[in-house]
Chains A and B, each alone.
Chain A
């Protein structure tokens, strides 16, 4: 079946089998290997991407269901060589150990900040409940999301991923939001 999906701003038309999962289409057909397969059981959230502006687990969506839609992966976040504020905050706050969960964590964090631009710690933990970190590095992940919130324009999210006006300050490991 022929489908057209816009991924990270570029339109791709491909022939796919109906049984192809979106995550396999992204990785194997389009080479978007930044999105990873973690658990393959819908639990871990490592494969999270945005589909038409909302976070989804791309192992639980068929590629044919994304026909005509827009997908943003972790590879589509940086602009002109500058990391997205959530990516930068993960880096600044050492919010990763092995890094495998990071693409999904970042995509879900952006979604949660779109719904709630200034989440408290509990709201961050609830917003990330569908994403698992096997290194259990949650403390710094939560810290990074709250740090990013301070650097993003309210309402910035999947559809308006922007840096706040003015110079952003870089905080060190463990820096407060």
Chain B
């Protein structure tokens, strides 16, 4: 399968990329790591007139420490994120979730920013971004602005990015010392998550002081399981507390129905996987 013809632009700065997108009009597509876009182009599910490749823009790569936040360049690959010591120390949940993305070859090419901008509800990095209060730094024709994860994800494959916008970097407030686990349920290795649960907790002396739970593929966008969080905080992290809290995991969710699972089954999975995720996070 061969993509339909397109014009190819590989700018070397974000400013040039924004200009290239503005010039190309609404049938342009941004190419990050290409691990979702290229299959789509090959199958001709999309046929953009122009592809703007961000691969040559050095300022979009790398992870840095900015005091109370870890800042991840949008074009950092999954492989880079998985191995980054700052991510491990201050956003362990993201590292754990990234470990489960696709397979090694895809993780070498696929990028953190690309996954977020693609906004597939089954994508594994959206729920961790939401749970960790990530902030998106976006550049468009009007300059830079930020959007919280809650503002950024709007619907299936839809974000607050305008056609000429570039996701530049993602600021994640440090969650230093929080334990974390990403519990994913899929049919076969490298398949998309049917449901997955991103859990990160902070405990002191056996008592949970803070908890963040994000759900993957339980709506058109990632959602927080706030009722579970509330049922965990202030309690000792024993099996009964976790089991009772996990019962709230599906409250308010509206997952889609597909060939893999209906609503009832997805909600069941959300409860079971939340229990497992919190338990594994507490076990370190």
Contact of B41 among A19, A40, A55, A127 (CB under 8 A): A19
A42-B106, A127-B104 given; A18·B42 CB < 8 A: no
A17-B5, A19-B3, A19-B41 given; A56·B109 CB < 8 A: yes
Contact present for B105 and A56 (CB under 8 Å):
yes
By a CB distance below 8 angstroms, the chain A residues around B104 are: 55, 108, 111-112, 127, 129-130
By a CB distance below 8 angstroms, the chain B residues around A20 are: 2
Contact present for A130 and B103 (CB under 8 Å):
yes
Count residues of chain B with CB under 8 A from any CB of chain A. 30
Contact of A42 among B3, B35, B55, B189 (CB under 8 A): B35
How many A-B contacts if CB must be within 8 Å? 84
- Pick the interface stretch among A5-13, A61-69, A94-102, A169-177: A61-69
A64, B6: Cα distance in complex, Å: 12
Report the minimum CB–CB distance from B144 to chain A (whole Å): 27
By a CB distance below 8 angstroms, the chain B residues around A56 are: 105, 108-109
Contact present for B108 and A19 (CB under 8 Å):
no
A144 within 8 A of B: no
Interface string of B2-35 (1 = CB under 8 A from A): 1111111010000000000000000000010011
Report the minimum CB–CB distance from B56 to chain A (whole Å): 9
With a 10 A CB-CB cut-off, give which of A18, A24, A43 has the most chain B CB atoms: A18
Contact present for B109 and A129 (CB under 8 Å):
no
With a 10 A CB-CB cut-off, give which of A19, A41, A55, A108 has the most chain B CB atoms: A19
With a 10 A CB-CB cut-off, give which of A45, A56, A127 has the most chain B CB atoms: A56
Report the minimum CB–CB distance from A163 to chain B (whole Å): 24
Contact of A57 among B4, B7, B10, B105 (CB under 8 A): B105
A48 within 8 A of B: yes
By a CB distance below 8 angstroms, the chain A residues around B106 are: 42, 57, 60, 130
Contact present for B42 and A65 (CB under 8 Å):
no
A1-B8, A129-B189 given; A40·B1 CB < 8 A: yes
A57, B189: Cα distance in complex, Å: 16
Report the minimum CB–CB distance from B5 to chain A (whole Å): 6
A1-B8, A17-B5, A42-B39 given; A129·B108 CB < 8 A: no
Report the minimum CB–CB distance from A105 to chain B (whole Å): 12
A108, B4: Cα distance in complex, Å: 29
A-B complex: 5 closest residue pairs judged by Cβ atoms: A130-B103, A18-B8, A129-B189, A54-B108, A19-B3
Query: Mind listing 9 A-B residue pairs with CB under 8 Å?
Result: A18-B7, A41-B42, A42-B38, A57-B105, A57-B109, A60-B106, A62-B31, A65-B55, A127-B104
Q: Which residues of B contact A (CB under 8 A)?
A: 1-8, 10, 31, 34-35, 38-39, 41-43, 51, 53, 55, 79, 102-106, 108-109, 189-190
Q: Which residues of A contact B (CB under 8 A)?
A: 1, 17-21, 24, 40-43, 45, 48, 51, 54-57, 59-62, 64-65, 108, 111-112, 127, 129-131
